[in-house]
């Protein structure tokens, strides 16, 4: 077993300074001999560089090499170079997870790993992201015509509407081109997407059924929420509730 790679991982590069989004993911393997995820990250990152490596998902499987090869072929259209792939919407791990479950791979809990290197990287990024999320929430709130209940998730601020029963999950992006997932919109997706398209917003449907909109500035996010809250008719909700 020591002569085989047994770990498949997905890695990203992050900007410690918080200035840019890096939309690339690396799908690779390790675990041969005494190799670990931590040692692999140390090889890829330079400790004094503002661009650092972080493993965001990993699985163990006896045939890791074959799985890696299959994934590389599957993702070939988005290949940037070598084992690096363009992940525009930051959904690669979400797309790979069901396949890994079907293959019987065992997931490695990254965040619970006792890895001081990764923990340091995560803390520095979390501090930067927390400040950015607070700022984004404030900027959007100032532009809303009707105040909404709010909270902040790790990936961005959330706005809750008692009027429409919709939940607006903002996906923060350093580039300023944020994403929006409209929670509890599955049963009204067709009507909501048609409504938003008449307002100039292209939507797509998430695998779970809710509406998604990408590439939104702060002004666009506020405008979309404002017009939905003021003009979208939800009188046809099933059983009186959007799910």
| Shared-domain flag, residues 158 and 226 | yes
Same domain, 93 and 169: no
Asked if residue 151 and residue 86 are part of one domain, the reply reads no
15 occurs within a structural domain: yes
Is 2 within a domain?
A: no
Residue 123 placed within a domain: no
Q: 73 and 144: one domain?
A: no
Question: Of 113, 145, 171, at which residue does a domain stop?
Answer: 113
Whether 91 and 148 share a structural domain: no
Tell which of 64, 80, 113 closes a domain. Answer: 113
Is residue 22 located within the same domain as residue 76? yes
Q: Is residue 134 located within the same domain as residue 105?
A: no
Q: List the CATH number of the domain containing 186.
A: 3.90.1150.20
Residue 124 in domain: no
Residue 232 to residue 57: CA distance in whole angstroms: 38
CA-CA-CA-CA torsion for 55, 79, 132, 189, nearest 10 degrees?
-110
Question: Does any domain span residue 125?
Answer: no
Whether 171 and 106 map to the same domain: the answer is no
Residues 14 and 102 in one domain: yes
- Residue 126: C-alpha distances to residues 15, 147, 178, 212 (Å): 11, 27, 18, 25
* Statement to judge: residues 76 and 13 lie in one domain: yes
- Taking the complete model, does pTM exceed 0.75, yes or no? no
Same domain as 186, residue 152: yes
The token pair at 109 is: 């809990």
Domain boundary among 84, 113, 142: 113
How many domains, the chain?
2
3-state SS, one letter per residue, for the chain: CCCCCCEEEEEEEEECCCCCCCCEEEEEEECCCCCCHHHHHHHHCCCCCCEEEEEEEEEECCCHHHHHHHHHHHCHHHEEECCEEECCCCCHHHHHHHHHHHCCCEECCCCCCCCHHHHHHHHHHHHHHHHHHHHHHHHHHHHCCCCCEEEEECCEEEEECCCCCCEEEEECCCCCCEEEEEECCHHHHHHHHHHHHHCCCCCEECCCCCEEEEEECHHHHHHHHHHHHHHCCCCCCHHHCCC
Q: Beta partners for 169?
A: 158, 181
Residue span of the structural domain in which 51 resides: 7-113
Residue by residue, pLDDT tens for the chain (243 residues) are: 445 678 899 998 877 665 667 889 999 998 655 555 666 666 665 556 667 777 889 999 999 999 999 999 999 999 999 999 999 878 899 889 889 999 999 998 875 445 565 566 667 667 778 888 999 999 999 999 999 999 998 889 999 999 999 999 999 887 788 999 999 999 999 999 999 999 999 999 988 899 999 999 999 999 999 999 999 975 434 333 333
Instruction: Clarify whether residues 85 and 136 are in a common domain.
Output: no
């Amino acid at each position: 077993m020591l002569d085989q790679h047994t770990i498949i991982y997905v890695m990203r590069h992050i900007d410690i300074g918080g200035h840019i989004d890096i939309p690339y993911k690396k799908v690779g393997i390790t675990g041969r001999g005494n190799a670990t995820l931590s040692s692999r990250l140390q090889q890829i990152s330079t400790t004094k560089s503002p661009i650092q490596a972080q493993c965001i998902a990993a699985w163990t499987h006896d045939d890791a090499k074959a799985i890696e090869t299959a994934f590389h072929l599957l993702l070939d259209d988005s290949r940037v170079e070598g084992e690096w792939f363009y992940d525009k919407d930051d959904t690669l791990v979400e797309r790979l997870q069901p396949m890994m479950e079907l293959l019987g791979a065992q997931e490695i809990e990254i965040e619970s790993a006792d890895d001081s290197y990764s923990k340091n990287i995560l803390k520095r990024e979390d501090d930067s992201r927390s400040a950015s999320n607070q700022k984004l929430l404030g900027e959007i709130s100032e532009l809303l015509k009707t105040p909404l209940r709010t909270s902040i998730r790790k990936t961005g601020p959330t706005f809750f509407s008692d009027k429409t029963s919709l939940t607006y999950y903002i996906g923060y992006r350093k580039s300023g081109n944020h994403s929006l997932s409209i929670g509890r919109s599955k049963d009204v997706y067709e009507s909501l997407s048609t409504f938003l398209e008449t307002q100039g917003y292209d939507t797509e449907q998430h695998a779970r059924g809710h509406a998604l909109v990408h590439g939104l500035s702060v002004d666009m996010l506020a405008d979309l929420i404002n017009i939905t809250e003021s003009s979208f008719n939800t009188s046809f909700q099933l059983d009186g509730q959007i799910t």
